[in-house]
Every structure is written in C-alpha cells, then in structure tokens.
Amino acid sequence: RYLRLTNRLIAQMKETLPAPAVSQLFGQIAEDLVSQYANDVKGLSMEARLDFVKDLLAQEGFTVEWEKKDDSYQIHEISCPYYQIGIAHPEVCTVDQTLISKMLALPVNRVQCILDGSAHCTYVVQQSKNK
C-alpha cells in the first residue's frame, strides 16, 4: 500500500511541478539528512566517513559495501529500498547519490545502476589529493 501511495505522490508531483523542482525536492531530502549528521563526520578520515555513510544508508534500508581500488573508493549498494519506486521514478536515486557525495564532501559518479540491469548500484569516489 505504501508503494502505491508513494508512486502516486511522485507521479502527482511530476505532473504538477516542473522537472527542476522535482529534482530539487529529492535533493533536499538528502540535504536534510546530511544536515542532521554533518557534525558527526567532521574530522573523520575518508574510511571512517565511508563507514558512517554505510551505517547511515543501512538505517535507510540499504545494504552497502565499500572498497578501495587504486586511487578511488567504490561504494556498492547491494540492495536498495527505493528499487520498486525507482522503476517508475528514477529521480529517487538522487537521494542516495546526493547523500553519499555530501557526507564524503566529494563528488561521486554512479557507474552501475540496478535500474539499468546491473546486479547493484555502484558509485566511484576519487580519493582527494589533499587528504
């Protein structure tokens, strides 16, 4: 029932609001989460931030693993609580991508997406040269 309601709400938003406003709403959801936890990651190493993000996403219903590869980190979302909604409304992916980027204070690049047929979503974060 929640899935149907959520899909209807998002469909109504997309019919009523301009596309940039819908994107902004999803981004703001992530920003609100980030603002709740921003102080918790201050001064943490990248690995500690990654662990924090992993735990935070777990609280949101994701199963996440991360690994270091050469000069980057790969974040794998093994399961996604938004999958069923994302089928019709892929904009929902903005939430976790923005959350990851803001919590790590670095841009992230999605290189795999479960919605595109991949086994899971994978984000790549280039290690900062300054840290």
Q: Is the dihedral of CA 90, 93, 95, 98 positive or negative?
A: negative
Report whether 26 contacts 92 (CB < 8 A): yes
The arithmetic mean of pLDDT across residues 88-93, rounded, is 94
DSSP state of 110: E
Mean pLDDT, all residues of the chain: 94
Among the listed residues 113, 94, 73, the one whose alpha carbon sits nearest the alpha carbon of residue 31:
94
pLDDT in tens, 4-57: 999 999 999 999 999 999 999 999 999 999 999 999 999 999 999 999 999 999
Rounded Cα–Cα distance for residues 39 and 119 (Å): 33
pLDDT at residue 129, rounded to an integer: 65
Percent of the chain residues past pLDDT 90, beyond the cut? 94
Average pLDDT over residues 106-128: 95
CATH of 2-126, one of 3.40.50.720, 3.30.300.130, 3.90.1520.10, 3.30.1490.100: 3.90.1520.10
How do the domains of the chain map onto residue ranges? 2-126
The letter for the amino acid at 56 is L
Cα–Cα distances (Å) from 47 to 25, 86, 118, in that order, read 29, 29, 25
CA distance 103 to 38: 7
Give me the amino acid identity at 84. Q
| Separation of alpha carbons 114 and 126, rounded Å | 22
**Can you tell me the mean pLDDT for 122-126?**
96
